[in-house]
């Protein structure tokens, strides 16, 4: 049996399901999906595109323009995404090293001297597990998937790892600059780093198990359990929404940090959430001002206006100036450091 082929078939089916979830359902829609690989030479890619679609240019100018616009859109996603991934890998590696050092420092000397015992102890520490898993998630070559869809969305998925998905609608309606795109992608990568998908799965398993247990213990053959399960489902939804809102806030916090580390303008980047707020108001999803603290128990995301103001405030701390001596070092800074007098060492 060709297991690699089985894996490819399964992956294709999962991808088809993921695409359907954002409105990309027909074979024609799926043919329009564009995928870029991390590290691609975009001058070569666009040159090949122009050669391939030269016939369209001659016979159908509108079709050529549409394809070319989406290719440029994908290029922007890939180029910004690579910068976010680079700093995300560096951040995760640094965090893992920090939590491991802190954990080891708490162990007695005899444990520190025994590698096997030490590693087993480290594996049992929750924070070490989180950042170890995050590092594994970030390793490897990534893909950037541009989906033709009227549903504005961007996301990453553990079941289809090393991919950032984003729809054309999100870019066309909300993203006007690389700064805004960087914050959007940084936010989605942060969900993966922080293990939010795994946490949600564990939460769902817990409540589903409780529901099954109620059914098995009910002496009324399901009548009593039916009422309890209806109540439990509401509780699960409400608690799940609260977890989701907290996840969104923590992904915003890490996302803007990654955006700053990648040297984007975080103040300008925050405007993407203001535009989302305006869209929510116009569609009737939110009131003109949502800063009253009145959030539905069942809202899975904090109000976009609240997120915008929080990120705008955070941009005062998390900005590229903060990292001008590290990840955002300019040529001026590099040359200035290079010209510093060398300290003399004693013989």
Distance CA 46, CA 145 (A): 16
Q: Pick the closest to residue 128 from 113, 107, 159, 114 (CA basis).
A: 107
pLDDT in the model for residue 292? 40
**Rounded-to-integer distance, Cα 151 and Cα 252, Å:** 21
Total residues belonging to the chain: 347
Rounded Cα distance between 4 and 229, Å, is: 42
pLDDT per residue of the chain (347 residues) written in tens, 0 to 9: 455 578 788 888 889 988 998 999 999 999 999 999 999 888 888 777 766 666 555 566 777 778 888 999 999 999 999 999 999 999 999 999 999 999 999 999 988 888 899 999 999 999 999 999 999 999 999 999 999 999 999 999 888 899 999 999 999 999 999 999 999 999 999 999 998 875 554 444 444 554 545 555 555 555 555 555 565 555 555 444 444 678 889 999 999 999 999 999 999 999 999 998 888 888 776 555 444 443 333 344 567 788 899 999 999 999 999 998 888 977 566 666 777 776 655 54
Exposure string of 123-154, with b = 16+ CB inside 10 Å and e = fewer, is eebeebebbbbbbebbeeebbbbbbbbeebeb
Specify the 3-state DSSP secondary structure of 21. Answer: coil
What is the model's pTM?
A: 0.79
Instruction: Tell me how far apart the alpha carbons of residues 23 and 217 are, in angstroms, rounded to a whole number.
Output: 41
295 vs 298: CA distance, rounded Å:
8
- In whole angstroms, give the CA distance from residue 227 to residue 265: 52
The token pair that represents 106 in the structure block = 């708490």
Environment class of residue 253 by beta-carbon count within 10 Å: exposed (0-12), middle (13-18) or buried (19+)?
A: middle
Helices (H), the chain: 3-20, 27-31, 42-52, 54-59, 61-105, 109-112, 115-123, 126-138, 168-174, 178-193, 196-217, 223-261, 266-269, 271-283, 304-314, 331-338
Q: Which residues contact 262 (CB under 8 A, 6 or more apart)?
A: 83, 84, 86, 87, 182, 186, 327
Q: What does the pLDDT read at residue 318?
A: 96
pLDDT of residue 96: 97
d(CA 233, CA 227): 10
Q: How far is CA 25 from CA 63, 159, 173, in A?
A: 21, 19, 21
Whose structure tokens read 């027909």? Answer: 26
- pLDDT attached to residue 323: 94
Give the phi and the psi of residue 50 in degrees, each rounded to 5.
Answer: -65, -35
């Amino acid at each position: 049996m060709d297991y690699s082929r089985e894996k490819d078939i399964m992956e294709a089916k999962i991808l088809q399901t993921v695409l359907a979830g954002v409105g990309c359902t027909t074979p024609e829609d799926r043919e329009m999906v564009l995928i870029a690989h991390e590290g691609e030479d975009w001058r070569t890619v666009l040159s090949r595109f122009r050669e391939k679609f030269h016939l369209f240019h001659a016979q159908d100018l509108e079709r050529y323009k549409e394809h070319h616009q989406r290719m440029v859109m994908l290029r922007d996603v890939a180029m910004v995404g690579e910068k976010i991934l680079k700093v995300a890998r560096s951040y995760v590696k640094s965090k893992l090293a920090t939590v491991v050092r802190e954990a080891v420092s708490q162990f007695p000397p005899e444990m520190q001297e025994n590698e096997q015992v030490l590693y087993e102890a480290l594996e049992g520490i929750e924070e070490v597990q989180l950042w170890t898993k995050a590092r594994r998630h970030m390793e490897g070559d990534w893909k950037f998937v541009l989906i033709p869809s009227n549903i504005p969305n961007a996301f990453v998925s553990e079941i289809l790892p090393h991919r950032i998905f984003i729809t054309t609608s999100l870019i066309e309606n909300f993203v006007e600059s690389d700064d805004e795109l960087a914050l959007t992608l940084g936010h989605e990568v942060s969900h993966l780093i922080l293990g939010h998908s795994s946490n949600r799965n564990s939460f769902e398993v817990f409540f589903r198990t409780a529901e099954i247990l109620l059914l098995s213990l009910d002496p009324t053959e399901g009548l009593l359990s039916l009422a309890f399960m209806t109540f439990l489902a509401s509780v699960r939804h409400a608690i799940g929404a609260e977890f989701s809102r907290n996840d969104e806030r923590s992904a915003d916090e890490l996302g803007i940090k990654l955006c700053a580390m990648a040297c984007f303008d975080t103040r300008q980047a925050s405007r993407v959430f203001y535009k989302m707020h305006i869209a929510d108001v116009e569609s009737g999803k939110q009131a003109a001002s949502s800063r009253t603290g009145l959030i539905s128990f069942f809202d899975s995301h904090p109000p976009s206006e609240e997120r915008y103001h929080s990120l705008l405030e955070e941009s005062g701390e998390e900005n590229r100036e903060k990292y001008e001596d590290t990840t955002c070092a300019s040529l001026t800074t590099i040359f200035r450091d290079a010209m510093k007098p060398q300290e003399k060492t004693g013989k």
